Amino acid sequence: MKRLVIIGNGMVGQRLIEAVRARDDGGEWSVTVLAEEGRPAYDRVKLSAFFDGSSAEDLNLHTPDAGVDLRLGEPAASVDLADRVVTTAAGAYRYDALVFATGSYPFVPPVDGKDLPGVFVYRTLDDLEAIREYARGRHIGAVIGGGLLGLEAANAMRLLGLSTHVIEFAPRLMPVQIDEAGGAMLRRYVEDLGVTVHTGTGTTALNAGPDGAVATLSLSNGAVVKADMVIVAAGIRPRDDVARAAGLAVGPRGGILVDGTGRTSAEDVYAVGECAAVDGVCYGLVAPGYAQAEVVADRLMGGAATFPGADLSTKLKLLGVDVASFGDAHGTAEGCLDVTFTDPATRVYAKLVLSDDAKTLLGGVLVGDATGYPALRAGVGLALSAPPLTLLAPAGAEADAGAGLAALPGSAQVCSCNAVTKDTIVDAIHAQGCADVPALKACTRAGTSCGSCVPMLKQLLTLEGVTQSKALCEHFDHSRQELFDIVRVRNIRSFSALIAEAGRGKGCDICKPVVASILASLHTGYVLEGEQASLQDTNDHFLANIQRNGTYSVVPRIPGGEITPEKLIVIGEVARDFHLYTKITGGQRIDLFGARVEQLPLIWKRLVDAGFESGHAYGKSLRTVKSCVGSTWCRYGVQDSVGLAVALELRYRGLRSPHKLKSAVSGCARECAEARSKDFGIIATDNGWNLYVGGNGGFRPRHADLFATDLSTEELVRTIDRFLIFYIRSADRLQRTAAWIESLDGGLDHLRDVIVHDSLGLCAELDAAMAGHITNYADEWAATLDDPDRLSRFVSFVNAPDAPDPSISFTVERGQPVPVSSSAEGRQPVLLGMPAVTEGSPA
Amino acid sequence: MIIDVAFQPVCPLDRLEPDRGVAALVNGVQIALFRTSDGELFAVGNRDPISHAYVMSRGIVGSRADVPTVASPLHKQVYDLRTGTCLDVADVSLPVYPVRVSEDSVVEVAVE
Ligand code: SRM
Ligand SMILES: Cc1cc2nc3c(=O)[nH]c(=O)nc-3n(C[C@H](O)[C@H](O)[C@H](O)COP(=O)(O)OP(=O)(O)OC[C@H]3O[C@@H](n4cnc5c(N)ncnc54)[C@H](O)[C@@H]3O)c2cc1C
Ligand code: SF4
Ligand code: FES
């Protein structure tokens, strides 16, 4: 077996491992990876997501592989090209082939004070952890560098709650990617977010304060900027130190010199990714690196692949603003023409670069709206698919992107990160039966890196005749969101009116509960009023949760998990008197199981008289707002988490939604209430509250993302109000908040735009809707007990109201009643454990 | 064939809400009784053949194509109310019982 040694386990090194493992069918190579960082490869492109709630695990790219010896925290110190040995502090490794994948290091200009405490670079997860740690309790940050990385770093500072300055030497932001007019538009967006931009000026010194840490920056225009911390994002340099020392040739501007096959100046030694200078040029993007990794893997297997050259197109979402540049963005080609489009009202800037005869698309820049990007980028070098202005106008972009896509030749690259062509995708759709985006991702890898080609994958599916149906069920062609709008706009009050207007047939167990929930969200009132009763699932119908043996459970609301001894005693007495199995739930309250329908009103009468309300354990609605003890008792607590949890639970109780809603409030960053596993979670800070959204446990656990920091209680409540109503209005059936946010075009940033910056002008309406809910809330159980008609539903048998259901019987386990044979038969997933009482023989 | 005399009164017609079921105990047999919004009546067994719990009367009433249906409230399998046949799982069905309304608007079911 031959040994391949790879130096560096970054994004490209990782891709090389995968490419080699995928091709090496004969098991020819054993792979040893020497990695400087202490953790396996992670997605550096998405690094900033770390400040938006993603954890280090979320970014992980590496899966353990028995054929790969990954040596973390063991950097290569030197290479002996003659003996073919790599040496580290821990050992020496002989190689048959060696690949450098050492990436870049951040360039720090040689200004005074660059080594002061409080000065950081932005490259690794360790850097980000240090930044987060240092930012605690600090207020002002500055970023040196207004390029891609600098703006990402500025956003990170914002998310950490610092007021932020960006200092850029060039006269505009992102000088490498975009032109002057685009830079000006971008600047307006960035300044609106409260970031102060200084362009056309350098940093001459970083100055220490009395504590010895950085406190101010001196700029070349004479200004002095106060800053408690500084991030330097002034560019990157290839890491060619070890290669240089070994005697490998380097490029004129640094980087390990390689040819189109990835080979360096030494036999069997290659370089890939940012450390490689391909014919003298280093690429600072991941896609060219991936292409190089594929080439080298092919060569190692004896293939003849060569690096096709790089597409330096990029699409970014920086501080919530779409920015894209593609092809010859700066118009360097001989005699080329520019077509530009600027709309100050919608803040959209776009430029297309065309060949001298205006027939071929060469490149372009988009700021503010990059919907057209995927199709435009794929069209570079091809004849224009429509008149330039049609391609640029944002309104037309979406529709025309589809048309443009149809016109593209099969060899056009749809996914540039993974070099997937239109042909490959169309083939996956037809020959391999891929019917949605996840299937296409799995089959072709398209869309799995930066994600910007995903809209094109969707359009291709549509173009190829795969309909991704949004129909709720056979009775409605609409999605839940569309039905919500129809009900709201046409003021529809009943299922029969809706199905007559917009559907067909009689409805079913899918559409009826959905419509019931929509009606309940819009016209808050008793959920079993009139015809609405027939729409409800049995749980909502009996205001209790059905169990495997046909009995129900009873869950009184215990807001925030706080309960008086008197109330605890009442629960105990009720459970004892009705022989109910009793359990403390995972939601900080108490569940009583085994009630027959005719017992439910009697049980609830006792509970309501003692001051309890429905806990809505049965509804798609707010479940619990869990709390930790918080500042009232806990020695660490900084805010009253119980008080807030109780207030929130009372505010949102009874709110009907597409799926259940859960929340929690923790009194400090120790997070004992597990708020980050909730749809909306709140963690106390010294200055107020941090709000996280889109978390859940369940089948696919997900941590919530940080949405806003240091809110006052009033700001917090207003933000949550809007978040919830917007979710209720626009989410799909049974879509928890996490999936809903993922499905929004523009994701979390878009959500922030809508509910914080009111970009859709909806906020007043959302606020009013929540106010309506709060005023109209009434406890469903109290309302049921008050009305003899409603109570008449609660019988086991219509013709024998006093007879209990003879099929229900219990046995005793650990001192409590449980359904008969729950343990014997209960392991089978579908056959629920009930004795098979034959028809006609009451047990 | 069930003969006419076996019909037994269960409850007044107006006790049945449209598109919702009730359970009845007739000769010791549990029946699920439904009235659809078209005014049709159906009587099937109350026992869910899949879970063995007596809950069919609490399912959601609807339609599949032109077939009037009820869905089990536990695991949502759908049944044809006219024949009792399960439309989702092969070889599973509910017993069906003759049902009618008497002249004085009482629902009657025939159970052997
Ligand atoms: C009672 C309880 C378990 C316990 O003994 O602790 C429970 C019991 C049920 N859970 Fe749960 N869940 C309970 C806490 C949880 C938790 C923990 C939490 O809330 O902190 C989770 C994970 C957190 C989350 O939801 O994100 C949880 C995730 C689920 C899920 C998966 C949801 C998902 O998005 O993947 C379901 C299924 C569903 O809702 O579709 C579910 C569904 C159910 C149902 C309703 C199943 C059903 O339809 O019959 C259970 C019936 C309860 C009943 O009859 O009263 N339960 N369930 C807990 C009640 C909490 C409460 O006081 O309301
Ligand atoms: C915040 C941020 C945002 C970015 N956004 C984008 C984007 O949107 N689009 C895009 O295309 N690109 C983006 N990039 C660039 C992209 O991350 C890089 O192009 C890519 O990571 C390069 O991969 P690589 O494997 O060459 O280098 P790296 O991922 O840097 O990996 C190199 C690894 O080698 C290790 N190493 C170095 N020397 C040694 C040694 N002697 N021994 C052992 N190990 C060693 C390093 O510690 C490192 O782990 C971004 C980068 C950052 C930092
Ligand atoms: S989260 Fe903080 S305040 Fe709350 S109980 Fe835990 S340590 Fe105490
Ligand atoms: S273009 Fe980046 S994932 Fe497809």
Structure confidence by residue, pLDDT tens digits, A417-427: 778 888 999 99
| A150 touching chain B per CB within 8 A | no
**Would you place residue A610 in the very low, low, confident or very high pLDDT band (cuts 50, 70, 90)?**
very high
What is the CATH architecture of A2-104+238-300?
3-Layer(bba) Sandwich (3.50)
**Minimal Cα–Cα distance from B62 to chain A, Å?**
4
Instruction: Establish if B112 belongs to a structural domain.
Output: no
pLDDT at residue number A341 = 79
pLDDT at residue number A11 = 96
Q: Decide if pLDDT at A40 tops 50.
A: yes
Cβ pairs bridging A and B (under 8 Å): 125
pTM of the model: 0.56
Pick the CATH number of A313-402 from 3.20.80.10, 3.30.390.30, 2.60.40.420, 3.30.465.10: 3.30.390.30
Instruction: Establish if B77 belongs to a structural domain.
Output: yes
Determine which of A474, A499, A532, A534 to mutate to test the interface with B (most B C-beta atoms within 10 Å): A534
Tell me the residue ranges of DSSP E strands in A686-765: 688-693, 705-711
Structure tokens at A203: 């940093």
**DSSP H helical ranges for A304-421:** 373-378, 388-392, 394-407
d(CA B34, CA A196): 68
pLDDT in tens, chain B (112 residues): 444 457 899 999 999 999 999 999 998 899 999 999 889 999 999 999 998 999 999 999 999 989 999 999 998 899 999 999 999 888 899 999 999 999 999 999 988 7
Determine which of A799, A820, A831 to mutate to test the interface with B (most B C-beta atoms within 10 Å): A799
pLDDT at residue number A398 = 45
Structural domain span for residue B76? 16-98
Structure confidence by residue, pLDDT tens digits, A311-339: 778 877 777 788 888 888 888 888 888 88
Average pLDDT of A173-192? 85
Instruction: Establish if B52 belongs to a structural domain.
Output: yes
CATH fold of A108-234: FAD/NAD(P)-binding domain (3.50.50)
Instruction: Establish if B81 belongs to a structural domain.
Output: yes
CATH number at residue B46: 2.102.10.10
Listed by start position, the domains of chain A span 2-104+238-300, 108-234, 313-402, 409-468, 479-531, 622-776
pLDDT at residue number A626 = 98
CATH fold of A409-468: Arc Repressor Mutant, subunit A (1.10.10)
Nearest CA to ligand 2 atom 37: A102
Cα A281 to ligand 4 centre (Å) = 22
Whole-number average pLDDT of chain A = 88
d(CA B34, CA B40): 8
Which contiguous run of DSSP H or E holds residue B109? strand B106-110
pLDDT at residue number A837 = 30
CATH fold of A622-776: Sulfite Reductase Hemoprotein; domain 1 (3.30.413)
How high is the ipTM of this complex? 0.72
Domains A2-104+238-300 and A108-234 share a fold: yes
Nearest CA to ligand 3 atom 2: A668
Instruction: Establish if B73 belongs to a structural domain.
Output: yes
Structure confidence by residue, pLDDT tens digits, A43-57: 998 888 888 777 888
| A304 touching chain B per CB within 8 A | no
Structure confidence by residue, pLDDT tens digits, A749-797: 889 989 998 888 889 999 999 999 999 899 999 999 998 888 988 999 9
Does A106 contact ligand 2 (Cβ within 6 A)? no
Instruction: Establish if B23 belongs to a structural domain.
Output: yes
3-state secondary structure of A223: coil
> If you ran DSSP here, which 8-state letter would residue A243 be given?
H
Decide if A799 and B47 are in contact by the 8 Å CB cutoff: no
Q: Decide if pLDDT at A822 tops 50.
A: no
pLDDT at residue number A821 = 62
Q: Decide if pLDDT at A344 tops 80.
A: no
pLDDT at residue number A327 = 86
Does A10 contact ligand 2 (Cβ within 6 A)? yes
pLDDT at residue number A792 = 87
Question: Looking at the partner chain, which of A512, A841, A842 has a beta carbon nearest the beta carbon of B62?
Answer: A512
**Would you place residue A827 in the very low, low, confident or very high pLDDT band (cuts 50, 70, 90)?**
very low
Instruction: Establish if B11 belongs to a structural domain.
Output: no
The CA-CA-CA angle for residues A340, A346, A349, to 5°, reads: 25
- Number of domains comprising chain B: 1
**DSSP H helical ranges for A578-712:** 600-609, 641-652
- Contact of B45 with B86, CB cutoff 8 Å: no
Instruction: Establish if B79 belongs to a structural domain.
Output: yes
| A803 touching chain B per CB within 8 A | yes
